[in-house]
A and B are shown apart, each in its own frame.
Chain A
């Protein structure tokens, strides 16, 4: 087992170092992509800022708190985006083109091969802005951070990233049956935008969907509100409850998505001639 792990780490290093060479070759493209995502997020913040010129608080939330939630939401999203962006290609192209063949031929875990083929440098734009906003929130005292919170914080962003990856993998795996599943994946992925704001502003049905069906609320809003300590929810118990549920959801979704992916591998047929 340990030997196997070691081998995969080494392989990942080799594969990713190839990728870094590509980035170094086209620095302008890298900067452009980074700026693209950076600007998209900045505009979201500017929107909140303008709105708060007119109102003192939004359903009891202050501007600083909303910015923290917004920033926090970007971090798990960015981590997932950085490491597993190639899953999008499975949904859009690889299965229908028959390019997926090459993964089936190598003596390596297939999922590992899919994600190790690419790092998405654009995600650094999201991670950057997320980190800036979260640090800012901690610095100006909006969010609580002591040793316990830091531990929960780290667990939470990784569980959040796993939830993202699982949702992507699940919808991408549908492509094994339908040949392409890009639009489905896109619908599911865009649901995440709802979780950038406090979920109580939405109608009940939407709130239910983003909390329990496609659980993006657990990726962003719920853990973030714990760190904000709103309504006295910053004790150890509440943290364990929210982050614990998040981890449980991450585990369940990962298991289901990975099972579906493996099932899909079994019925995969090449599109070749």
Chain B
């Protein structure tokens, strides 16, 4: 185990350093991605203003504010795209180098993604989070989030990070078949933003569709941790939800191993 950490830790540290080197660009990207959250905020305020009911999809107006910004914090931290690293490696042929080194390619990608996740949690995650809590208590008049919920939230986030990265690894295998992955990435992001609950809480969907989502890994990526943060799950339901996340981690891990074996068997790298 210790040896493993020694081998893979540098991947995470390198990624952290790389991120730090491009700070300027990064802050601008934060700014841009917050745009989306603010559009959502104003849109939802208008929606609640036009509604005769005070709760929509099981959330009050105040809870919706928390939902919107926690979705930002959560997805920013857990939804790390590794499929474009895979496609980069495949297109340039550097994947061959990774195959001859005595390391696990997928493991190195996951650890690299972890470096990014840690960085994003610190910047800007924690700051937005604290800002949101202050806003919540002073302006919205909701109680401060409990320590238990924060811990459960972080645990759930860890698993959602793994689900997302392992899924994205499988998705990245597409790069072995087509070189232009940009369009696929866009389609994937659009569909995922919908299925994970980034765009709209899943409770807004019709009952039948919600049942279907229970059988997909996506709701576990954003919707689950944020709802845990809001304290919407208790007792056995909470246990079940966490267990479901863990199950997806295992399933996607096995699926990734299977696909990777199949794909590398037919891989041809030219030149190098």
Contacts and interface: CB of A to CB of B under 8 A. Distances in A.
Given A36-B184, A36-B186, A51 B47 contact: yes
B42 A201 contact: yes
B190 A58 contact: no
A62 to B, nearest CB: 11
Size category, A interface: 35 or more
B128 to A, nearest CB: 18
Interface in B26-59: 28-29, 31-32, 35-36, 38-39, 42-43, 45-47, 49-53, 56-57
Contacts of B185: 36
B230 interface: no
Interface string B230-264: 00000000000000000000000000000000000
A193 B50 contact: no
Contacts of A43: 190-191, 193-194, 199
B142 interface: no
5 contacts: A31-B183, A33-B180, A40-B186, A47-B200, A190-B35
Given A29-B178, A29-B180, A37-B186, A58 B53 contact: no
A37 B199 CA distance: 16
A36 B183 contact: yes
B25 interface: yes
B200 A51 contact: yes
Which 5 A-B residue pairs are closest in the complex by CB-CB distance?
A: A36-B186, A32-B183, A29-B180, A33-B183, A36-B183
A151 interface: no
Contacts of A46: 194
A201 B43 contact: yes
Majority secondary structure of chain B interface residues (helix, strand, loop or mixed): helix
Nearest to A194: B39
Contacts, number: 107
Given A36-B190, A51-B204, A193 B36 contact: yes
Size category, B interface: 35 or more
B178 A32 contact: yes
B36 A36 contact: no
Interface string B106-149: 00000000000000000000000000000000000000000000
A28 B31 CA distance: 34
B187 interface: yes
A54 B187 contact: no
A26 B180 contact: yes
